[in-house]
Structure 1
Amino acid sequence: MIEVNKEKVYAAFDQICKTKNYNFTYGTAGFRDHAIRLDTVMFTTGIIAAIRSITHGGKYTGVMITASHNPPQDNGVKIVEPKGDMLLPSWEPEITRLVNLASNNTFDAWFDAMMDFYKSKTTSDDVIPHFMLAHDSRESSPHLLHCLTTGVEAWFGVNNVKIKCHGLLTTPQLHFLTFLQRENDSVKDYNTFFQNAWANLYKGDDEELPFDNLYVDTANGIGSRQLELFIKDWKFPNDRIHILNGDYQNPSKLNIDCGADFVKTQHKLPKHETNTKLSPRDLYCSFDGDADRIVFYYQDSQEKFHLLDGDKISTLFAKFLQKLLHESQLGSQLKLGVVQTAYANGNSTKYITDKLCVPVSCTKTGVKHLHHEAQSSYDIGIYFEANGHGTILFSEKFQQLVKMNTNHAAKKLYHFSQIINQTVGDAIADMLGVLITLISLKWTAHDWDKEYQDLPNLLTKVIVPDRTLFETTDQERKLVKPVGLQPKIEDCFNKFEQGRSFVRASGTEDAVRIYCECSDDSKIKLLSTEITELVVNSVKQ
């Protein structure tokens, strides 16, 4: 075990940890808060990420500084496991406890607890921790990076820890590079991998494209810079792809009136500085701030907006992969399934189960829950939250069978599995997957959309002083606290034909998220308003 110099740690702690008397929660995507509060979080998180590396025998763990779709003044941090997936859930309470000790107790109390934790996880004297760092384009990210590395170097010593800093990356790129576990890899390796996977599927004939132009709203985030780099060597007609809201060098614009979360919640086009006339033959998509979410959309000839969200992406992939399984004659040997949350549109679930006859599982909100279910239950596990965050997981059995099978459909299945970033939801990789699926099926955006019609729905949020007051059960479909609120919600939505509504605390901000759907488009706002009033009144009581 590397010897810790308490005096050096104290000096760094005293310099960095200014946030006091404040409680943090490691939510669905790590810690998130206003950036000015995160110094203490970063200091402790870096040390724990290094300890996590030690438990893996010195393999690289990843640390990503980002707040995804949150507004520019926020930031956050999360730890990535060596296989590219998210931090082991059993570590979440421990990291939360230790971060809050740093905020709410003396240095000695925090240090003693950290030492106990360190000793309990360290079994070898000669393991050097390794971890990779990256951050998004927020103004606060460089300072928070400094807070994090200061803590690590104070605890372990500069020469006893290996830090690989990638600088500006999307969150999925950091996950992927952590998965590769190679010290000298860079974003070029990410780009080359997915460009090659695409080249194995795309013939390069412009006439194959079922759309005239692809417009990509990158939310003025780091996805803009990384997509610019990606398309330079991407086998795709560059005159057909156009980046909107690409001002990542102006952090104050991040996620403002644009991006996947804006489009999903507002059900309208993002604001962008272009005079381009929208055409029904064009396809549009939006990333979020760190490019791990994507939603698609288009406007028809009557200029009506049509959203193609995470539910639509899941059903598109299920349709395509089922077709390839049938053509490859592997359908009886490989189990295809879709994982959703309770907030998936009711008609998407009905389409998958009734029309495609593909099994559907339901989990709590948060991709870590969907990821686990997809991995444990299916050979091809498709999971997407309605917000556009998701991916597809392919089992070892899948890899073995498709490699043994030499028919065209099996080869296509294999190459398609390579075009997907299986470590985490990835806006760039998911975009490639959607595009190659539409090309293969010869579907326009309208063809995709007409497979089933979404029930009218609204996803809104209410800012609350304490989100922990809202507790759920039944995969977050029912509230148990505040007591008495759930019966009122049910009485409300039962007045509407095919009415449903779910209320849950956000995992990333002090807010409550409210999902509503019913069969009548003219009444969905009324349902949402009534449920919102119930939530607001419950907070006031």
Structure 2
Amino acid sequence: MNKEQLDLLLRESDRFPPPHGMRLSYGTAGFREDASVLLSTMYRVGILAALRALKTEAVIGLMITASHNKVSDNGVKIADPSGGMLTQEWEPFANALANAPSSRDLVRLINEFAEKENILLDGSKSAQILVARDTRPSGEVLLDAAKNGIGSIIGAVAQDMGTLTTPQLHWMVHVRNKGLESSELDYFNGLSNSFKWLLDSNPNNSELNDWDNRLVVDGANGVGGQKLELLKEKLNGLAIEIRNSGKGEGVLNERVGADFVQKEKTVPCSFGSQDVGIRCVSFDGDADRLVYFTVPSGSSNKINLVDGDKILSLFAIFIKEQLTILAARSKDTKIAFEPRLGVVQTAYANGASTRYLKDLGLEVVLTPTGVKYLHEKAAEYDIGIYFEANGHGTVLFSDYCISLLQPVSWELSNVFAGSETHKAALRLLAISKLINQAVGDALSGLLLVEAILRHKNWSIHKWSELYQDLPSRQLKVKVVDRTAVETSNAETKVVKPPGLQEAIDLEIAKYPQGRCFIRPSGTEDVIRVYAEASTQEAADDLATSVAKLVDQFLGDGSSK
């Protein structure tokens, strides 16, 4: 590090002292905390983004958001060159950077890390970082701090993309690094064009005169509702009504949004009896999650939830159908096309959904909890589908799969132009362009759900009845040291302390369709308990009995 760089870092970092007595941790969602204490963190993550851009020699993203958290919170995370999350290998450095107690400690860390990673800090290379924020009032001042951090590394430049959904920024990083056009207009055009093609390729269009094209969207009073207002002008075939759009009618994520709807199974604000029978969907605050729901007749505030597990199932059914069509004709056309399709879930996926997917003949694998694990595993397939029950997920198409689909669709156009075989190949290509290849995206997910439902001529009620969720219960147990619990097999089995898993197995055996696992929290000293059984009472009892076991083995005497 030369003197110019050293002086710049010392001078600028002195303006952003870290909060006293607070330790931050970079998790799946980056850093999150009350916005009032995040100025130093934003500044330092700006530095992190600049270093990452120099290291990778690619465009990096920095997004300021706290997703489904309350409006007083905020956070920040990095988008890697693929558009995905920051590599896990850099998370320890991110933690050390955020928690450095002084400017001199900060500079020492940066210098040591740069030397280890062979990052030149002499201004000889340039770096570009795309930055954006959601609609939180704190976003503007925090973004300025992040820009200061980026500017503290000589050669690094921040390009402010304005107010965006989180998936939009990730998409922009993804396509920018592929050398493609990456403006917000390009994003909207890509979604609308792919959606239109999927609708036009529907062989049942002539039979859909009675299709209910009404859709009511809960925008969580966040950025997603505002962006959907812009996107819907480019869409035909959907009558979209947007509520909780963030135009002053309510508070971000307060009794609205996907997290509230999925956890509480209650209608969000602005919804009620007037919506009986209509397809409804909720985004979260930064629009990287979506869940569907219906309002049943005669219910004052309860809903019928169609969660991420069922969104995954719908996508898997449709994609498998297209692959089956292609496989059936591959012998006739002499086109070899056998991509590997995989479905990725965590142990929190309802057991009924996992059984349903396996009964369809799909390959289903579990990963530890966290989008970074799901995404990484899904990327191992030619087509990988992942979703969490909370509504975050996407469909990944490998470059190899795309390289197969493009010539297949071209050759079939010469042999079977307009046939279902040709359309099946084009549908898969359209899905790969519609669904966000970087992260979960409520806008693109919504359009794919709507296209598939129309293609199959399914109501939301028929979709919801694919399988019946098993009753479940989640609890958490306070412990002195959460690291005393170690797990294996995608967090479904306890390795330590010895004897605990055997005790859990004995409890599970008492309940029909019983399933239960425990895992340590990533952020607090609690052990989380998840249980399923054939009835709600049984699920509650199983969760309670296992929570007591956890408390006996290592608790502090309290659970909830």
Common topology (TM > 0.5): yes
| In 1, Cα distance between equivalents of 2:104 and 2:370 | 35
| In 1, Cα distance between equivalents of 2:242 and 2:476 | 29
- RMSD across aligned positions (CA): 2.9
Asked if 1:197 corresponds to 2:202, the answer is no
Secondary structure of 2:372's partner? helix
Evaluate the alpha carbon distance shift between residue 264 and residue 482 of structure 1 in structure 2; reply closer, same or farther with a 3 A threshold: farther
Evaluate the alpha carbon distance shift between residue 190 and residue 365 of structure 1 in structure 2; reply closer, same or farther with a 3 A threshold: same
Evaluate the alpha carbon distance shift between residue 2 and residue 108 of structure 1 in structure 2; reply closer, same or farther with a 3 A threshold: closer
In structure 2, what is the equivalent of residue 94 of structure 1? 93
1:373-384 equivalences in 2 (<5 Å): 373-376=377-380, 378-384=381-387
| In 2, Cα distance between equivalents of 1:465 and 1:42 | 31
In structure 2, what is the equivalent of residue 434 of structure 1? 449
| In 2, Cα distance between equivalents of 1:358 and 1:400 | 23
Secondary structure of 1:15's partner? coil
Secondary structure of 2:389's partner? coil
Question: Offset of 1:323 from its aligned partner?
Answer: 0.9
In structure 2, what is the equivalent of residue 289 of structure 1? 285
Q: Deviations over 1:220-256 (max 9, x none)?
A: 111111111111222234xx21112222657x82212
For 2:73, give the aligned amino acid: D
Evaluate the alpha carbon distance shift between residue 483 and residue 290 of structure 1 in structure 2; reply closer, same or farther with a 3 A threshold: farther
Evaluate the alpha carbon distance shift between residue 247 and residue 353 of structure 1 in structure 2; reply closer, same or farther with a 3 A threshold: same
For 1:351, give the aligned amino acid: Y
In structure 1, what is the equivalent of residue 216 of structure 2? 215
In structure 2, what is the equivalent of residue 6 of structure 1? 6
| In 1, Cα distance between equivalents of 2:362 and 2:209 | 29
Q: How many residues get paired?
A: 527
1:438-517 equivalences in 2 (<5 Å): 438-459=453-474, 471-479=486-494, 489-507=504-522, 513-517=528-532
For 1:385, give the aligned amino acid: E
Q: 2:273·2:295 contact (CA, 8 Å) conserved in 1?
A: no
Unpaired segments of 5 or more residues in structure 1? Answer: none
Asked if 1:28 corresponds to 2:44, the answer is no
Question: Offset of 1:509 from its aligned partner?
Answer: 7.2
| In 1, Cα distance between equivalents of 2:50 and 2:426 | 40
TM-score by length of 2: 0.86
In structure 2, what is the equivalent of residue 422 of structure 1? 437
| In 2, Cα distance between equivalents of 1:33 and 1:462 | 23
Q: Deviations over 1:406-441 (max 9, x none)?
A: 212111221122111111100111111111111111
| In 2, Cα distance between equivalents of 1:504 and 1:86 | 23
In structure 2, what is the equivalent of residue 67 of structure 1? 66
Q: 1:336·1:359 contact (CA, 8 Å) conserved in 2?
A: yes
Q: Deviations over 1:385-410 (max 9, x none)?
A: 11111100112232122222221211
| In 1, Cα distance between equivalents of 2:18 and 2:70 | 23
Evaluate the alpha carbon distance shift between residue 465 and residue 518 of structure 1 in structure 2; reply closer, same or farther with a 3 A threshold: same
| In 2, Cα distance between equivalents of 1:383 and 1:116 | 38
Q: 2:515·2:533 contact (CA, 8 Å) conserved in 1?
A: yes
Counterpart selection for 1:361 from 353, 359, 365: 365
For 2:342, give the aligned amino acid: G
1:260-279 equivalences in 2 (<5 Å): 260-270=258-268, 272-274=269-271, 277-279=274-276
Question: Offset of 1:5 from its aligned partner?
Answer: 3.6
Secondary structure of 1:265's partner? helix
Q: 1:17·1:43 contact (CA, 8 Å) conserved in 2?
A: no
In structure 2, what is the equivalent of residue 46 of structure 1? 46
In structure 2, what is the equivalent of residue 225 of structure 1? 226
Question: Offset of 1:289 from its aligned partner?
Answer: 1.1
1:270-419 equivalences in 2 (<5 Å): 270=268, 272-274=269-271, 277-280=274-277, 282-300=278-296, 303=299, 305-329=303-327, 333-354=338-359, 356-376=360-380, 378-405=381-408, 406=412, 407-419=422-434
Q: Deviations over 1:448-495 (max 9, x none)?
A: 122211111244667889766665333122345677765555454443
Unpaired segments of 5 or more residues in structure 2? Answer: 331-335, 413-421
In structure 1, what is the equivalent of residue 556 of structure 2? 540
Q: Deviations over 1:42-98 (max 9, x none)?
A: 2221111111111122x2100011111122222111110122111111111121122
| In 2, Cα distance between equivalents of 1:227 and 1:504 | 37
Secondary structure of 2:242's partner? strand
Q: 2:151·2:158 contact (CA, 8 Å) conserved in 1?
A: no
| In 2, Cα distance between equivalents of 1:446 and 1:471 | 41
TM-score by length of 1: 0.89
Question: Offset of 1:2 from its aligned partner?
Answer: 7.2
In structure 1, what is the equivalent of residue 419 of structure 2? none
Evaluate the alpha carbon distance shift between residue 444 and residue 515 of structure 1 in structure 2; reply closer, same or farther with a 3 A threshold: same
Q: 2:354·2:364 contact (CA, 8 Å) conserved in 1?
A: yes
For 2:440, give the aligned amino acid: G
Secondary structure of 1:312's partner? helix
1:126-275 equivalences in 2 (<5 Å): 126-156=124-154, 160-181=155-176, 185-203=182-200, 207=208, 210-237=211-238, 240-247=239-246, 253-270=251-268, 272-274=269-271
Evaluate the alpha carbon distance shift between residue 257 and residue 466 of structure 1 in structure 2; reply closer, same or farther with a 3 A threshold: farther
For 1:357, give the aligned amino acid: G
Evaluate the alpha carbon distance shift between residue 482 and residue 475 of structure 1 in structure 2; reply closer, same or farther with a 3 A threshold: same
